[in-house]
Structure 1
Amino acid sequence: MASTKPSAENSGTTTEKYDGFTAEERAAMKEHAREQKKAAARRGASRAEKEAAAERDVLAKIAEMPEADRVLAERIHHIVKTTAPDLAPKLWYGMPAYARDGKVVCHFQSAEKFKTRYATLGFSDQAALDDGAMWPTAYALRELTEADAQRISALVKKAAG
């Protein structure tokens, strides 16, 4: 008896094609796996040593970025460290992120790495940004004015709880 359920292979269309993850997404996943292995290798270190090494990793990754992304990432790093010093810097899919109890609260995404028009400051479900039934969880960044920096500072403070 023939199946009555449509399948991806037998959808009746020949123009649809699933290409899977982009090269940038695959690279980010591989980088995340390397980050996990690196963190596992630090298991015998003290908490202070782990935190210092994680911050060095974040600063090194920021230093590798093209100038436009690097300038934004440096400012975001400074804002987060100043506004929410209890959030710990860490790499997350090869990008700077800031976590509480090991869970990412916010992260920076380079425009260059993902070949997008703008960099992004994103917030996870760990961020305390709830505002009614709907609220933004990511912000596009092309430059960072002083007013923008103050707004981000307020968001990070609220997100950190």
Structure 2
Amino acid sequence: MAEKTPAAFSDEEKAAMKERAAEVKAARRGKSKADPEAAVLAKIGELPEADRALAERVHAIIRASAPELTPKLYYGMPAYAKNGKVLCFFQSAAKFKTRYSTLGFEEIANLDEGTMWPSAFAITELTAADEKRIADLVRRAAG
């Protein structure tokens, strides 16, 4: 019996790529939503309850910690950009059917520590200490 070759991309990955293609296409045509924060909040509102609660809190922390960042959608996820480039993003657990949500940072983030540093953080819940850490990370990344 021949073994099945796994698909190159999961259905979730294909959906994310389609969302990103639509975002880029809309931006090229100048049809991006007039209020990018409203688009991010609408996307957060579509998330399952547990992910939505985390995303709402992360959004509030990021907006308070680095108000100069611009909310935008990135592969269908809430993201925050500096000078048009995504600096950080929230990925819900439901997006790729994982056990935790993620706060990720892109290469423009000023988080370098020697020769190795984390660029994503798993989030299962948010304590006061976690919220403070996120605020500190975002301020440093945006710095």
> Above 0.5 in TM-score?
yes
Over aligned residues, Cα RMSD in angstroms?
1.7
Matches within 5 A, 1:145-156: 145-156=127-138
Deviations 1:79-128 (A, max 9, x none): 11100011100000000000111111100001011100000000011100
How much has 1:40 moved relative to structure 2? 2.7
State whether structure 2 residue 14 is matched by structure 1 residue 26.
yes
How much has 1:51 moved relative to structure 2? 8.2
C-alpha spacing 1:51/1:88, structure 2 compared with 1 (3 Å): farther
Runs of 4+ in structure 1 over 3 Å off: none
Of the three residues 83, 94, 113, the one matched with 2:95 is 113
Matches within 5 A, 1:93-132: 93-132=75-114
Larger radius of gyration, structure 1 or 2? 1
Query: What's the TM-score once normalised by structure 2's chain length?
Result: 0.93
Counterpart amino acid of residue 8 in structure 2: G
Separation (CA, whole Å) in 1 of partners of 2:75 and 2:126: 23
Of the three residues 106, 123, 131, the one matched with 1:141 is 123
Cross-structure match for 1:158: 140
Counterpart amino acid of residue 58 in structure 1: V
Cross-structure match for 2:29: 41
User: May I ask how many residue pairs the two structures share in their alignment?
Assistant: 142
Query: What's the TM-score once normalised by structure 1's chain length?
Result: 0.83
State whether structure 2 residue 42 is matched by structure 1 residue 54.
no
Alignment check: 8 A CA contact 2:78 2:90 kept: yes
C-alpha spacing 1:51/1:33, structure 2 compared with 1 (3 Å): closer
SS of the residue corresponding to residue 35 of structure 2 reads helix
